[in-house]
Amino acid sequence: MEGDFQFMYAAGGAALLIIALSIRVAVRSANKDQQCLALKSGQIGAATATCKNPSAWLEAGRALLAAASAAKNAPMRIQKYEEASDCFRKATEVANDNTQAWRNRGQSQYALFRLKGCQDRLLLNNAHTAFQSAARLAPADAAVWQDWGEELYLTGMYCSRDDDRRELQELAKNKYAKAVHLDPGRMEAWQKWGGSAQALADIRDEQDGDAIRSAGLEQDGQAEAMPEPGSQPKQPGQPGHHEDEAHSSASAPMGAEHSGQSGPEHDADHDAGAKDREAQMEELLGRAAPAASGTRTGPE
């Protein structure tokens, strides 16, 4: 009888231990479920950090993406995109093989890169890496490649630097090409492929036009600075410089430029000649005056 009581006592203790452990596990599970439920409802913080449900993180991140799109100012959009990116990062940490989590993480990073003026290269590299992970997990999924091309195309249209625009549109064209290769029936991918190719061609035309205009301006400047054939460039202060010529022409007496003479000697000769001509005119006038009045001079 005593052995039976001991056995029953041990069995009862084991049963109680099992029940206690079960309750503890149930409580922990309930707490985790509550954390994930809070996460799904948008209550993101320290209380939800231990949620291990990737779907909960995905739902929370997508809700934040919608809030970012609806935000009325850039700072609020940036904040929501950063929170969404954190949710998708957490989803990839919980389930590293979740393709959708990697896609959404890349989308949020591209959006942040655009909103921050296409300056933060770390954001761009993180976005590339996220989509590379998604494509590695689902290499035959045309939707992944099309989504990647869409983000690259939008980012290329948003940025202002020619190098960034050309690089991003080139990448977008390649991703769209991959999408239509995997699924030729994706008409939207075909259209976007053509759009990215046209955008890339426009960028190249703009750059070619700028280069041509720049070269033309340089040639015009060189042509203006080039002296005429057979002539020597004249330096200021040297004989024959156009400034000296203009000064000489302005200061020389009338007719000096025709005689090839200038200076004081020419001025003296010119004055003497003028006096002789005046004396001759007076003499002629003196002779003509008596004839005009009827008076005769000399013997009749």
Alpha helices in the chain (DSSP H): 2-40, 54-70, 74-94, 99-115, 121-137, 142-158, 162-182, 187-225, 242-251, 256-259, 264-293
Domain 54-118+125-139: homologous superfamily in CATH? Tetratricopeptide repeat domain (1.25.40.10)
Q: Is the dihedral of CA 275, 277, 280, 282 positive or negative?
A: negative
pLDDT value, residue 4: 57
pLDDT, tens digit, 9 for 90 and up, residues 270-280: 555 556 666 66
Residue boundaries of the structural domains of the chain: 54-118+125-139, 155-213
CB atoms within 10 A of CB 135: 21
Torsion of the alpha carbons at 54, 55, 61 and 67, rounded to the nearest 10:
-170
CB contact at 8 A, 215 and 223: no
Question: Quick one: tokens of 272?
Answer: 């003497």
pLDDT, tens digit, 9 for 90 and up, residues 107-125: 999 999 999 999 999 999 9
pLDDT, tens digit, 9 for 90 and up, residues 131-182: 999 999 999 999 999 999 999 999 999 998 888 889 999 999 999 999 999 9
CB contact at 8 A, 92 and 101: yes
CB contact at 8 A, 180 and 193: yes
Mean pLDDT of 47-52: 71
pLDDT, tens digit, 9 for 90 and up, residues 55-85: 989 999 999 999 999 999 999 999 999 999 9
- What is the C-alpha separation between 154 and 247, in angstroms, rounded? 66
Closest CA to 114 of 72, 168, 63: 168
Cα dist from 240 to 68, 243, 245, 261, whole Å: 75, 8, 6, 15
- What is the C-alpha separation between 190 and 281, in angstroms, rounded? 102
- What is the C-alpha separation between 48 and 90, in angstroms, rounded? 11
Mean pLDDT of 4-17: 57
